[in-house]
Amino acid sequence: MADSEVIVAVMGATGSGKTTFINLVSGANFVTNDGLRSCTAEVQTSKSFALLGRQVTLIDTPGFDDTTRSDTDILKVIADYLCNAYQNEKKLSGIIYMHRISDFRMGGTSKRNFTMFRKLCGDDTLKNVLIVTNMWGEVSAEVGSAREKELAADDILFKPVLEKGARMLRHDNTLSSAHRILSCLINNRPEVLQIQDEVVNKHKDILQTAAATELARELEEQKRKQREEMDRVRREHEAAVAAQQEATRRALEQERARIAAEEARAHAEYERIQRQQEQARIRAERRAREMQRRLEQEARIAREHEEQRRRLQEEQQRQAAQQAAERERLRRELELARLRQSEDSDDDDFCVVQ
Ligand SMILES: Nc1nc2c(ncn2[C@@H]2O[C@H](COP(=O)(O)OP(=O)(O)O)[C@@H](O)[C@H]2O)c(=O)[nH]1
Ligand SMILES: [Mg+2]
């Protein structure tokens, strides 16, 4: 390796500004991230450029959160590149880890990227590591400084690496800022990264390296969380189904009760009508009997009247006959009396009685 050649790898999450930094300082024209899709799924190397009498080459790496490739694929791509470079006696003078100070908090993706970065580098190369914070224009100076302090003091973030020789620098997206950053690295003694040592010197398969083990652990953890999430969703789903079934059962029960009540009402109405009809029938029968009785009574009275009238008529006829007979008798007696009188006067010519 030529003394003047300096190779610096730039790592960090997708969208942290790696490609922008490399384009700015090297004059490269790599595609930057539009925020929707990551663009650097492969490792790409800038043309070398002169800085402080050295020839600097920057290596752009994809983040471990690519939208098109799995984290294992990304690890293989980066490891292959670094191991090939090492086999070709190209060691890294420095590694830049980019981090957006504008990030509200270090989320799962940022943490995974930083963990993978650590497993790729190992502890021995940390003195060649620069943690570069950018996007300072996106936050107020106070908020940015407070976050910077927090990150530097965080036990699971930057504190352990800073304690082992890494440094933290600000980048304001200007060429002079980029030069200042790189100038901190160009005189470093190139070191072997942990991944290069594992694969090239110790002949490990990439999947047996610390980085791959970490990735597997992360994936296992993710799977566990997903399983828990699935279990939770399943339990919620089952509870919802049970609740729904209970609601349906209750609705059916109410419907059944409503129909039963209607049936009972209809039955009661039917019975009421039957009773009324029966009562009407009894009343009608009673009225018919009463009518019959009255008709019979009237007929009997009529018969009695007829009998009375007949008897009266007979009595009248009998009395008339009796009177006629009496009159006849009296007439005859009178006739007889006249006869007798006339006979008496015949006997006594001179005595006229008038
Ligand atoms: N404000 C600001 N924006 C930046 C800076 N660096 C990168 N960006 C923007 O952040 C986005 C992602 O940048 P990019 O370089 O593609 O990120 P990469 O995925 O890490 O390569 C792009 O829209 C850039 O224009 C910076 O220092 N300041
Ligand atoms: Mg990029």
Ligand having the closest approach to the CA of 42:
2
Instruction: Report how far ligand 2's centroid is from the alpha carbon of 139 (Å).
Output: 22
Identify the pLDDT of residue 38. Answer: 53
- CA distances in angstroms from 223 to 75, 215, 226, 314, listed in the order given: 19, 12, 5, 132
Ligand 1 atom 12, closest CA:
15
Percent of the chain beyond pLDDT 90?
Answer: 70
Q: What is the mean pLDDT of the chain?
A: 91
**165-174 per-position pLDDT tens digit:** 999 999 999 9
Identify the pLDDT of residue 219. Answer: 85
Identify the pLDDT of residue 187. Answer: 92
Probe target for ligand 1 pocket from 23, 32, 139, with the most ligand atoms within 8 Å of CB: 32
Q: Is the CB–ligand 1 distance for residue 48 below 6 Å?
A: no
Instruction: Report how far ligand 1's centroid is from the alpha carbon of 15 (Å).
Output: 6
User: What CA–CA distance (Å, rounded) separates 94 from 58?
Assistant: 10
- DSSP three-state, residue 5: strand
Q: Is the CB–ligand 1 distance for residue 17 below 6 Å?
A: yes
Q: Which atom of ligand 1 is nearest to the CA of 39?
A: 19
Identify the pLDDT of residue 349. Answer: 60
Q: Is the CB–ligand 1 distance for residue 18 below 6 Å?
A: yes
Instruction: Tell me 197's DSSP state.
Output: I
Residues 59 and 45: beta-carbon distance below 8 Å: yes
CATH number of 5-204: 3.40.50.300
Identify the pLDDT of residue 303. Answer: 94
Tokens, residue 169? 């620098």
What sign for the dihedral angle of Cα 78, 80, 85, 91?
positive
Instruction: Report how far ligand 2's centroid is from the alpha carbon of 52 (Å).
Output: 26
Instruction: Report how far ligand 1's centroid is from the alpha carbon of 289 (Å).
Output: 113
Percent of the chain beyond pLDDT 70?
Answer: 95
Probe target for ligand 1 pocket from 21, 33, 43, 133, with the most ligand atoms within 8 Å of CB: 33
DSSP sequence for 293-353: HHHHHHHHHHHHHHHHHHHHHHHHHHHHHHHHHHHHHHHHHHHHHHHHHHHHHHHSTT---
Identify the pLDDT of residue 39. Answer: 61
Identify the pLDDT of residue 65. Answer: 84
Looking at the chain, the number of H-run helices and the number of E-run strands are 8, 7
Instruction: Report how far ligand 2's centroid is from the alpha carbon of 51 (Å).
Output: 22
H helices present in 132-203, as ranges: 141-153, 158-163, 175-183, 194-196
Q: Is the CB–ligand 1 distance for residue 99 below 6 Å?
A: no
User: What CA–CA distance (Å, rounded) separates 6 from 48?
Assistant: 9
**197-253 per-position pLDDT tens digit:** 999 999 999 999 999 999 899 889 889 999 999 999 999 999 999 999 988 889 989
Identify the pLDDT of residue 292. Answer: 94
Low-confidence stretches of the chain (pLDDT < 50) are: 1
Instruction: Report how far ligand 2's centroid is from the alpha carbon of 256 (Å).
Output: 67
User: What CA–CA distance (Å, rounded) separates 231 from 26?
Assistant: 50
Identify the pLDDT of residue 40. Answer: 59
Residues 119 and 165: beta-carbon distance below 8 Å: no
Identify the pLDDT of residue 23. Answer: 97
Q: Is the CB–ligand 1 distance for residue 14 below 6 Å?
A: yes
How many angstroms from the chain centroid is the CA of residue 336? 142
Residues 206 and 74: beta-carbon distance below 8 Å: no
Those residues whose C-beta lies under 8 Å from the C-beta of residue 7, and which sit 6 or more positions away, are 56, 57, 58, 59, 85, 90, 91, 92, 93, 190
Identify the pLDDT of residue 300. Answer: 94
Q: Which amino acid is at 29?
A: N
